Amino acid sequence: MKILFFGDIMGRSGRDLLLVRLPDLRRQLNADFVIANAENAAGGYGITPKICAQLYEAGVDTITTGNHVWDQRETISYIDKDARLLRPLNYPTGTPGRGVGYFETGGGHSVMVAQVMGRLFMDALDDPFAAIDHELNSVKLGQTADAIVIDLHCDATSESMALGHYVDGRASLAVGTHTHIPTADTQILPGGTAYQTDAGMCGDYDSVIGMKKEAPIARFTQKMPTERLSPATGSATLCGVYLETDARTGLAQRVEPLRIGGRLEPAWPTDLDC
């Protein structure tokens, strides 16, 4: 199976580029399933039902979020109605929405997608290790699910790496989001799980993690409140991960970074037409 995962969609710049490019990317890469983190898609803060519909129409199969999931208040009443919109699994019991989804591709493959949020430098949620353990104990990769993808929404790279190794051999891909910076450690772990500490963002990299530069710089240099941070609007780069899984085991056979457009050095799966 071939799966595409796109990191945090940051504001209109990243959103518009993904909406334009994704239909062709799905065809070029013959993707069976597409996942996108979109917790910053609505002006940098959260997501809306309208944006969900646009992403689904363009070819996204399921959406993950993170600590900004509730920034748009309409999401609170909407998320229970949309089985394809996920929030971190380790929110307390009773929180709206779901942290795991089970989906079927057009080719009849089953895909489990889950998300956990780290606790270092983040909100004090339930234990992400115990939360993902509970879910993985109820599904068998290569048997009850043809592929399992886990979004690790962490601020600390150490926590992402620890979670990646913790699920090694039990998931097809464990990939980080949240920091908006693509890391250079794309690899297949010893147990067969593909891993990257952060997929990077889909947004303008002439920025401070996707926000216009002036206000963040002023906050750092003057230690004074500034106007609300707003997304940079320049040329965006799409950042993500390309995954191929073994049809028998569900483990990773191949994983490569994707970087398309904008300011960053391009990255494209070798031996495939771009």
* 68 is a catalytic site residue: yes
* Separation of CA 175 from chain center: 7
Confirm if 112 and 136 have CB atoms less than 8 A apart.
no
* Separation of CA 124 from chain center: 21
Write out pLDDT tens, residues 175-197: 999 999 999 999 999 999 999 99
Write out pLDDT tens, residues 27-60: 999 999 999 999 999 999 999 999 999 999 999 9
Q: Which helix (H) or strand (E) holds 50?
A: helix 49-58
* Residue 44, domain CATH: 3.60.21.10
148 located within any domain: yes
270 located within any domain: no
272 located within any domain: no
In the predicted structure, residue 210 carries a pLDDT above the cut 60:
yes
Which residues are within 8 A (CB) of 26 and not within 5 positions of it... i.e. 6 or more apart? 4, 34, 59
Phi first, then psi: what are they for 55, rounded to 5°? -65, -40
266 located within any domain: no
Count of domains for the chain: 1
**What residues make up the domain containing 121?**
2-260
267 located within any domain: no
**To the nearest whole percent, how much of the chain has pLDDT over 70?**
99
Selecting among 68, 109, 153, 180, the annotated active-site residue is: 68
268 located within any domain: no
Predicted confidence band at 223 (pLDDT cuts at 50, 70, 90)? Answer: confident
Q: Which of helix, strand or coil describes residue 190? A: coil
- The CA-to-CA distance between both ends of the chain, in Å, stands at 19
Write out pLDDT tens, residues 94-139: 999 999 999 999 999 999 999 999 999 998 899 999 999 999 999 9
